[in-house]
Amino acid sequence: AQSVSQHNHHVILSEAASLELGCNYSYGGTVNLFWYVQYPGQHLQLLLKYFSGDPLVKGIKGFEAEFIKSKFSFNLRKPSVQWSDTAEYFCAVNPSLGGTASKLTFGTGTRLQVTL
């Protein structure tokens, strides 16, 4: 069974600080990787995704993530956070092939608080 670990449960940063949120997954095959964000009172939105190709992917709002296959990691980064980035961030994976591709497995989430 696949699993996803997010090591940082709660992160507090000042505006303009750099961000890196860790995500590691466990799965024996090829996966698709996603980062979702949930702003307070809003629904889950897709930040970025990796299917194949260039392991460095760029998403919305200045976020990027790097897929390191050998480490089973897909860490999220942003060079300079803003107060509006305060939200909960979820890493998720699903198998690339086969009938279970729609079964997303989520990490436990990281609550990011950005202070002014």
Partner 1 sequence: KAGVTQTPRYLIKTRGQQVTLSCSPISGHRSVSWYQQTPGQGLQFLFEYFSETQRNKGNFPGRFSGRQFSNSRSEMNVSTLELGDSALYLCASSLGGSGGRSSEQFFGPGTRLTVL
Binding residues for partner 1, per CB under 8 A? 32, 34, 36, 42-46, 49, 51-52, 90, 92, 94, 96-109
b/e map 10-35, b = 16+ CB within 10 Å: ebebeeeeebebebbbebeeebbbbb
Nearer Cβ to partner 1 (28/116)? 28
How far apart are CB 41 and partner 1 at their closest, in Å? 9
Q: How far is the CB of 108 from partner 1 (least distance, A)?
A: 5
Q: Write down the least CB distance from residue 14 to partner 1, Å.
A: 27
Nearest to 69 by CA among 22, 24, 7, 8: 24
Q: Name the region of 59 (left: φ>0; alpha: ψ -120 to 50; beta: rest).
A: beta
Cβ at position 48, least distance to partner 1 in Å: 11
2 vs 73 by CB, closer to partner 1: 2
Name which of 58 and 80 has its Cβ closer to partner 1.
58
Which is nearer to partner 1, 29 or 70 (by Cβ)? Answer: 29
Encoded tokens for 51: 């299917």
Compute the distance between CA of residue 64 and CA of residue 97 in angstroms, rounded to an integer.
24
The DSSP output letter for 28 is S
